[in-house]
Structure 1
Amino acid sequence: MTCERVALVVAYLDVAATTRVDSRVAEVVLHWMTEDFGNAGSRTHDYGTRAKKAVQEARTYLAQTVGARPEELIFTSGATESNNIALLGLAAFGEREGRRHIITSAIEHKAVLEPLTHLQSKSFEVDFLEPGPSGRISTEAVMEKLRPDTLLVSLMHVNNETGVIQPVAELAEKLRETSTYFHVDAAQGYGKIAEDLRAPIDMISISGHKVGAPKGIGALVLRRRGWDRVPLEPIMFGGGQERKLRPGTLPVPLIMGLYEASRVFHEGHDRWKRDALVVRERLLTALSKTRFRINGDPDHSVPHILNVTFDDLNAEALIVRLKDQVAVATGSACTSASYTPSHVLMAMNLPEKVASNGLRFSWHPSQVEDFDPTGVVETVLRMQPAAS
């Protein structure tokens, strides 16, 4: 079987779903697949020794990016697995201690909502906070729900549909004064708002393919409270790797790819942010010729994600018309095949007509330098009924 490379002629504005692997990252991955291909668990030869040393170097660097120690980071297949380990792995402790109350938001990714729904079937009580039209959960709203039996608060860093930043750093400081653990799904925020993740968050889920690494690699940070570890128990067994929380042969090429992608992204962060804002302003200026609304608080959003609804226009129909111009989505890649209203936009108490037609633009500025939104605007104007 042969794979032919197909040249993409459309502008790619769906990096919230996944990013293109950076060429420098691909080169590193290939090296650890074809030259230094040893198993990091092999202790009897240099191939294994080199792999083990490389993994430790990657672990040290990645932990440092969020202000953690190397031994506080384990490698996973991505944020979904990290979320499952964090949420389900804490359940046994909660049951033993009689702490079965969990606080989260109704705008979380399915990788958080579905494990929590599973815990509800195991007699855990979960409060799903709704943010209102801003798309932002307030620290006060979380703290008001806190109880003596609250085991965990789980709140995403950046919403994957709206790009709205949640106040995780502020909340971490407050929760650190309690016995409640704090988990943050940082799939969309890692690398973009580094200072937030240096706050005393107990558990942080990281996904590599949102920052130019290959799919299938991520990490879970488990920050200690003094000498005390987060009391997680494994949800998988076999081999004992990664502190027995994530058994299996370490994917050295993918780990090194995540290491390189993170390094590249962090070193270019200032330019990325500046250029992402330029693209955002260019897009908003062009869209001003149409009738649209921004979904979520633009003053508390990352620069590279924009969710809009066009008045009197069906988002699915628009995507079909735009498919030869631009790659965009109606929301999370995990649910974009569904034609139901966005659970995120519905939880923001937006009208169903708005929530059903949200369109997400997300970009990496270096990959859309030549993107001209004129064609998108012209298509919208042709489809949008004249204002009455």
Structure 2
Amino acid sequence: MTYRLAEDQQGWWIAVVAYLDVAATTRVDPRVADVVLHWMTKDFGNAGSRTHEYGLRAKRAVQEAREFLASTVGAKAKDLIFTSGATESNNIALLGLAAYGEESGRRHIITSAIEHKAVIEPLLHLQSRGFEVDFLEPGPSGRISKEAVLERLRPDTLLVSLMHVNNETGVIQPVAELAEELRKTQTYLHVDAAQGYAKVSQDLKAPIDMISISGHKIGAPKGVGALVVRRRGWDKVPLQPIMFGGGQERKLRPGTLPVPLYGALSCDDLRQRVCEWAAARVMREELLTALSRTRFRINGDADHSVPHILNVSFDGQDAERLIVRLKDQVAVATGSACTSASYTPSHVLTAMGLPEEVATNGLRFSWFPSEAASFDAEQLAKTIAEIQAEAL
């Protein structure tokens, strides 16, 4: 496919290449954008305004969005607070437990070395405050075993934080099985579900104490997400706020509620758009079949992965240079968008114990089939094969 520029309906000039980086972010569907525009320009009231119909309509919209989103993970509406995204949700879940951990003497936390920086960095902050954090390494599969977590449990273990789907490899972690086991203990479970929400939904209906959700990974605008905080019977997770002012969202996330973003996160068009798994699997097989003409390895356990994320390393190829050579065909990444400016080896692939030349040069392909209509797997594989031949 030839790289070219095209003018969209709003007059913006955009590159017409196959977009294979949905693990970083997704396009907002025009129908979803229309919902946002409606709540910005027509029903624009403040959900905290109780004296007129504008405010009441906004309040009802927020409640309907809350009820729907909570229902998707088998939770109650009162269990869900809205946030600006999974990063904020992670911070509230992790840092919000610190005071309780300090008061109770439970300062031990278990996590994995392959978590997103939005989990690792808050935990490093807690470590500086005297908490003991175990960072488990998964091995070449990229999957943390349930047994590995349970073996590290102690009477003073406050929390286990384990991601649902790894953002670089697409490997699914055993969070549902772990939730069942941890419910028998006093240890809380937090799951960063930024990559798994609305995609591997059944897992998140397990009795997980806290679930972080991101909107822009599933076609909603950037800047919206949620934190689900389930009770254990009558007992609440003892979170303390990390911000103050206004008392909104059960006093855990103060600030004026951005009603347009909540409307987008729960609108019908968005719900329908993410259900593309059969097509995602077909596209994965087509890509792997085409790549068979190249020399590559898959990074991570292919039997426990979501169908729309594939991490591969190509023999003898520097990933950054390869991306430049492929930019006329596909938009891809080497890993998390939050660390894409770094040229150091992927911390995820390194924690899996992969050789440095592999960990440094992993390429992540991620897609929604509806966003990759222009993708030509055969042409991509041909180009890569030619580049590899040049290096011989």
TM-score scaled by length of structure 1: 0.97
> SS of 1:177's equivalent?
coil
1: CA distance between counterparts of 2:272 and 2:341? 35
1:254 equivalent in alignment to 2:258: no
Secondary structure at 1:99 match in 2:
coil
Match of 1:324 in 2: 328
Aligned equivalent of 1:153? 160
The equivalent of 2:137 in structure 1 is: 130
**SS in structure 2 of the partner of residue 47 of structure 1:** helix
Query: Which residue type is aligned with residue 330 of structure 1?
Result: T
Match in the other structure for 1:334: 338
- 1:242 lines up with 2:249 in the alignment: yes
For residue 81 of structure 1, report the CA deviation from its aligned partner: 0.1
What amino acid is the match of 1:154? S
Deviation of 1:265 after TM superposition, in Å, equals: 4.8
Give 2:210's match in structure 1, choosing from 172, 193, 203: 203
Question: Hey, what does 2:31 align to over in structure 1?
Answer: 24
Q: Give the equivalent residue in structure 1 for 2:318.
A: 314
Do the aligned residues in 2 keep the contact of 1:191 with 1:265 (CA within 8 Å)? no
Q: 1:290 aligns with which of 271, 290, 294?
A: 294
For residues 183 and 47 of structure 2, the distance between their equivalents in structure 1, rounded to whole angstroms, comes to: 35
Deviations 1:8-50 (A, max 9, x none): 3110000000000012211100000000000000111110000
Deviations 1:155-187 (Å, cap 9, x if unpaired)?
000000000000000000000000000000000
Query: Residues 13, 269 of structure 1: CA spacing in aligned structure 2 closer, same or farther, 3 A cutoff?
Result: closer
Residue 3 of structure 2 is matched in structure 1 by none
Aligned to 2:70: 63
In the other structure, the counterpart of 2:88 is 81
1:363 aligned onto 2:367: yes
Q: Which runs of no fewer than 5 residues in structure 1 stay unpaired?
A: none
Contact 1:312 1:385 in 2 (8 A): no
Q: Is 2:61 the partner of 1:54?
A: yes
Question: Could you tell me how far 1:367 is from its partner in structure 2?
Answer: 1.5
1-structure distance, mates of 2:139, 2:159: 22
TM-score (norm 2): 0.96
Report the Cα offset of residue 370 of structure 1. 3.5
- Deviation, 1:378, is 2.4
1:139-288 mapped onto 2 (5 Å cutoff): 139-260=146-267, 263-267=268-272, 272-288=276-292
- Residue 119, structure 1, aligned to residue 126, structure 2: yes
Q: Give 1:352's aligned amino acid.
A: E
Partner of 1:305: 309
**In structure 2, distance between residues paired with 1:269 and 1:361:** 17
In structure 2, the gaps of 5 or more residues are 1-9
Q: CA shift at 1:381, angstroms?
A: 1.6
Q: CA deviation at 1:268?
A: 5.3
CA separation of 1:169 and 1:264: change in aligned 2, threshold 3 A? farther
| SS of 1:7 mapped into structure 2 | strand
Give the root-mean-square deviation of aligned CA atoms. 1.3
Q: CA deviation at 1:4?
A: 4.2
Residue 108 of structure 1 corresponds to: 115
Asked if the contact 2:114–2:137 (Cα under 8 Å) also holds between the matched residues in 1, the reply is yes
| Cα distance in 2, alignment partners of residues 305 and 368 from structure 1 | 13
User: For residues 374 and 25 of structure 2, what CA distance do their matches in structure 1 show?
Assistant: 20
Amino acid at match of 1:88: L
Q: 1:387 to 1:321 in 2, by over 3 A?
A: closer
